[in-house]
Structure 1
């Protein structure tokens, strides 16, 4: 068993981590007392084109107090649980801080959750109130109210809920809120966050104020200086769901660190592109899906401008430059040579600064979380001047466990344990974690808590490896390991990551449990497919052109699968695959709101297609089944006619 933590694996600290004495809401009050005019919030009231309006620390504190008074007047007491079912918007921050100020507990719910999920979470958590965003949210909660006798309030943001609560709370003295806030302890429960439910019914993770604050305070102490150039206030565009612990950690970093936070509720490429240009963040917190999408957009725009070849050369130079710099940092090389420096400087003027300008022109660095970031992609961003500190965390750990140490980044890993965190890899490859951020347990599930908390160590369910320097690499999930009928165990994550690196491929799910070989379900990126088709110089009648396009697309995807297969052994390689007509999304229940695959749901939804894929393969000649690249599933031809 390998064990790293604290002194051996910790990144250097630039400041001491403060000792926590109260609750999360204290951050707002402390900042307002210390620096009342400091901008903390940037809001857009109205359409996405509206200008950003800044709110100071004292203004945020006053609004938190006014709302908290309304919550007290409505009968919300310490220990009560209130659900928030809304997108990432200012009111999410306002409600969470107000609830924490009076000792209540927040239960995040994704606004796209089904009626059954909403009913389960509200009942399991014994919520006494729920905050919804719009009429659709009211209808969803209303449809399950009959089974929720403890639910007393449904507050709708878009119909003036905040204003109504403020009016209701006017008779309550502000001192009442201050008195309640002062009795909130660090180990009081702050959030009951339900797991995404990639498999089975979601379970509520009880997280204390200390659990959520610990990774934020440690990151601010050791990495806070990377958020903006010296002398500038870091500006963070929060667009990931606050219903996920990663989003809550971003909110915590901003509030506890005095960073300017802008809320963007739309996780849409065009909306985000506009928000980057107007808000101009200095630091970017995202998931790999966002970094992958940004890269593909860069490539597509370059190709449309007739500069695709230039962009691809610039990408290779950026990766080579970043790799040389990484080797130098790790003591394994002397850094970029003169030729490489000259090439990099040339592309800095012609390409890289334009790419950074597309993100607002001020991005100083970034963090990727949720799942591991592809090594080549991390090198690309580092090479264009945006170091991405890949990290790792879970709902059960209140966010971050590991992160890339400043000045010792190693792409392809998720970094080293945060100071105060210990990480072990058990004999079976499972990652074990111990530290202040490890959760209190699952609500109403003592057996489940005992199964994952063992002598203070959290069994994460993730598989990984620790290298000699203490850097952690994630290799998969224990429950996701595929075992073929031949007994071969296959971790799907690496293959799926390599497939997604191809511009035409949007998502991939590797299958093969109890099957003779590994297969894959693939979805295409509609925007890039349309762009790719436009670049084909086909002539002739329409029917003939479509056939040639389909054949070319088949060949391109086949090459992508073959490239992915070069990273694994022959017995682990993908032999059959099928292209699906539409991407997986949250609305269909095939993705979690944090963009993770609901693997069991995908396999169940496409059981017929998976069976047909293997049946089709079994009818192919032996030489076609055994070759690499894999045999093409002819039954998928019609898919290309629909993905246009």
Structure 2
């Protein structure tokens, strides 16, 4: 038996973990956030006390075991307090995406029967609209004191709960969940449109966190900076439950502005950051842009050091980037970071290798909301940047119906797989067969059991000759251009030949393009722009097989609409709504 496999005695419910942490880590800071000029801190013991008090107050207003309660808000300490108090009261959490419109949130509240919602003041008007149209939520608990008269406030809730616990009138032990009880219902549409409620259990999420901790070496001295939205399962498990289980400190970034994130990293000496590929792409481009604006001597020194890194890696299989670029990392404000973790989508190879050259430890993993969500992690001691890594301990994975290249649909089996889609047996039966979850992702596996993602099943393009084309592969090549900020590759019917062809929608890096045309004295006409990008596309597609190359394209004037984890909403462009493009 693999010594890294999660043992039955290691498993616990979320509420049991919060209690255990209070005993193990006591006055150590669990959560913090900059407010004004100081960081407001909450210790592990305080967190346990606040969570229990809030749970007691919830019970006092009629919240029963198995009831649903929602949480909506930006990342802040009150979000995990709300989440943890719901499960401590024996309830089920319904995390809400703040980017949704009131009709979408109203629909989620109605089908899930969610009557209580914890909310930051920013989203209370949105919930009021839901109340007017659906009657839900019946109760709103504000995370701050800025609230309409009819609302509860979290601080008052905590005080009330403390009094109830002191009186002995509320017994939370009667509310204890079991490992296989439902923990959360996460409504997700991702990049494919239709919203489905993913049912995750205490066992699934805790198994995922504990198994991950046996691959990624994080300890109680680590300090994580939280920037991804907490309602998303990747951040909820990997950036919230996992670090709390370990006893690490979580800092909530005060905003998503790059300057303020870097200030928070520097001031907290953050050691770990979780991000999606788009965030890392922009970070790396910013780093390279900063280098390009330095004096010629500095630029020359950087290029020389990069050449040393490349040569040393190739000949000696050593990585001197950590030493050679220590000063650069410090000046960029990222010097304290010892680990960058990517998830939510495939990380382009040029991004992972680019960070690695500068001495950053960057790893990527893989997973879905339906798998709690982590299924694979690259171990730091043996990173393969093109891969998402082997399965975490205790999880089975296989490639279904592989083609001649070994590529087929990825299927997953183990305790982390969801119970199913909420009130949707038909959709559940489509993806869970004999205990195996069919992910809808295509991939392959190598001899070391490392998995490689090649693309989404639904976005696959099939050529006239029956060749499979994975849009993500073409997109990764095109994004190597300094003049392409974002790109979406889809199949589109050629009106003349009536055949499906590879079509690219380009959102240019207008800043780089403007600087280039100004330097060259070029008049940036529509005809010139189209001709320029035709050449760029041909240049960056030349390494691809002919049938994979882009045959036609269009230019967008603005960024693509994205999910909250910065993935392009591909489904909008695979349907008739493509006509909205610029």
User: Who is 2:286 aligned against?
Assistant: 297
Q: Secondary structure at the match of 2:63?
A: coil
Contact 2:375/2:395 (8 A) holds in 1: yes
| SS of structure 2 residue aligned to 1:431 | strand
Shift of 1:179: 3.0
| Residues 81 and 572 of structure 1: CA distance in aligned 2, closer, same or farther (over 3 Å) | same
Q: TM-score, normalised by structure 1?
A: 0.81
* Equivalent residue for 2:399, pick from 409, 425, 442: 425
Aligned match for 1:507, one of 466, 486, 502: 486
Q: Which residue of the partner structure matches residue 150 of structure 2?
A: none
Report the equivalent of 1:43.
Answer: 33
Instruction: Give the drift of 1:467.
Output: 0.9
Q: CA deviation at 1:316?
A: 4.8
Q: Give the conservation status (yes or no) of the 8 Å contact 1:421–1:435.
A: yes
Bigger mean CA offset, 83-92 vs 202-211:
83-92
Q: Which moved more, 1:435-444 or 1:508-517?
A: 508-517
How far off its partner does 1:138 sit?
Answer: 2.3
- Report the 3-state secondary structure (helix = DSSP H, G, I; strand = E; otherwise coil) of the residue aligned with 1:473: strand
Provide closer, same or farther for how the CA distance between residues 416 and 41 of structure 1 changes in structure 2, counting only shifts above 3 A.
same
Correspondence for 1:366 among 340, 347, 367: 340
Q: Which residue of 2 aligns with 1:29?
A: 19
SS in 1 for 2:9: coil
- Residues 90 and 177, structure 2, Cα contact 8 Å, conserved in 1: yes
Compare relative contact order (CA 8 Å, sep 6+) and give the higher one, 1 or 2.
1
Whether the aligned pair in 2 keeps the contact of 1:318 and 1:382 (CA below 8 Å) is: no
Q: 1:279 to 1:65 in 2, by over 3 A?
A: same
| Distance verdict in 2 for CA 1:265–1:522, change over 3 Å | farther
Q: Does residue 1:450 correspond to 2:429, yes or no?
A: yes
Greater displacement, 486-495 / 104-113: 486-495
3-state SS, counterpart of residue 492 of structure 2? coil
8 Å CA contact 2:459, 2:490 repeated in 1:
no
TM-score (norm 2): 0.89
Contact 1:298-1:355 within 8 A present in 2 as well: no
Stretches of structure 1 that go unaligned for 5 or more consecutive residues are: 1-5, 325-332, 540-544, 585-589, 611-638, 640-644
**Cα pair distance change 1:183/1:334, threshold 3 Å:** same
Is 314-323 or 512-521 further displaced after alignment?
A: 314-323
Partner of 1:400: 374
Equivalent positions of 1:331-342 (< 5 A) are 334-336=316-318
Question: Could you say which residue in structure 1 is the equivalent of 2:362?
Answer: 388
Distance 1:404 1:21, change over 3 A: closer
Partner of 1:206: 199
- Matched residue, 2:256: 267
- Map residues 532-571 of structure 1 onto 2, 5 A cutoff: 532-533=515-516, 536-538=518-520, 545-547=522-524, 551=528, 557-571=533-547
Contact 1:565-1:573 at 8 Å conserved across structures: yes
Indicate conservation of the 8 Å contact 1:441/1:449, yes or no: yes
Shift of residue 181, structure 1, vs aligned partner: 6.9
Q: Which consecutive residues of structure 2, in runs of 5 or more, have no partner in the other structure?
A: 148-152, 403-407
Match of 1:441 among 408, 411, 420: 420
Rounded to whole Å, the distance in 2 between the matches of 1:45 and 1:352 is: 31
Deviation digits for residues 389-414 of structure 1 (CA, Å, limit 9, x no counterpart): 21001000002101112311111000
Partner of 1:629: none
The residue aligned with 2:276 is: 287
8 Å contact kept, 1:461–1:479? yes
Which of 494, 506, 516 lines up with 1:522 in the alignment? 506
The aligned counterpart of 2:310 is 320
Q: 1:87 touches 1:265 (CA, 8 Å); kept in 2? A: no
| 1:65 equivalent among 39, 44, 52 | 52
2:142 is the counterpart of 1:163: no
Alignment CA distance shift 1:53-1:179 (3 Å): closer
Residues 321 and 433 (structure 1), Cα distance of their counterparts in 2 relative to 1, 3 Å cut: farther
Check the 8 A contact 1:319/1:379 in 2, yes or no.
no
Superposed CA deviations along residues 572-594 of structure 1, whole A, max 9, x for unmatched, are: 2012222211112xxxxx21101
Q: Does the 8 A contact of 2:461 with 2:490 survive in 1?
A: yes
Q: Give the conservation status (yes or no) of the 8 Å contact 1:23–1:181.
A: no
Distance 1:391 1:323 in 2: 23
Residues 11 and 203 of structure 2 are in contact (CA less than 8 Å); yes or no, is this contact kept in structure 1? no
Q: Secondary structure at the match of 1:361?
A: coil
